[in-house]
Amino acid sequence: MTNVPTVKLNNGVEMPTLGFGVFQVPDLSQAEQAVTDALEVGYRLIDTAAAYQNEEAVGRAIKNSSVNREDVFVTSKLWVSDFNYKRAKAGIDASLQKLGLDYMDLYLLHQPYGDTMGAWRALQEAQKEGKIRAIGVSNFYADQLKDLELTMPVKPAVNQIEVNPWYQQDQEVKFAQSEDIRVEAWAPFAEGKHDIFTNETIAEIAAKYGKSNGQVILRWLLQRGITVISKSVHKNRTDEDIDVFDSEL
């Protein structure tokens, strides 16, 4: 089993640098099995969202796992239809209920639309109440991050954005890092586009290190100081993706 390193967020909470996500896995039994496999091989960051419609499956996998709850870093996200103060408070409680948990380790505003300020106030309150350990955002641009910083008492701990070889987001990554906001990459494999798993340039690098294209991409992101969310419903890929801590590019 692989031990994944952690990083300290701007509020002192420790977060694993590599996680497992269940985006586009609406089949609850498949999602539960995928999370079960991920926990067994060593993943300790599990990423879901209200919009993924599989929070219940994630919660069951965690509950039935031999891994202690306090050793699993659970992330979920509030969908835009709940972006105001009152609906966000209800949305947080709904996620906790579906997950079957007393608290979430990280909770994100899923998109930068609607009443983000009202929703953010609800997240701040939930953090004070102990329902959430760290709060953050997803798919926000630098100016939107700055708006939250300037107008709210608690700034985001994380911005989860798409980052991969074809969408490197250099400026967005640099800005967030300069503000002590942890960047977390979704779609590190560009959702399989551009023949990413057989790309010749990446394959040349992979051959040098005895790794796969996917492993090289994950390692490249980790070395940029980015937390990465990997996803697969195939156990062999789940096992492969976590095996990236024994070499350096």
Structure tokens at 47: 């990423």
52 is known as an active-site residue: yes
Distance (Å, rounded) from C-alpha 18 to C-alpha 44? 8
Find out whether 112 and 162 touch, Cβ atoms under 8 Å.
no
Q: Residue type for 214, please?
A: G
Q: In the chain, count of helices (H) and strands (E)?
A: 9, 10
Coil, strand or helix at 51:
helix
List 52, 113, 167, 209, catalytic entry = 52
d(CA 108, CA 51): 12
Measured CA to CA, the distance from residue 153 to residue 238 in angstroms comes to 38
Q: Which of 40, 217, 8, 2 is nearest to 133 (CA)?
A: 8
Q: Which residues are catalytic?
A: 52
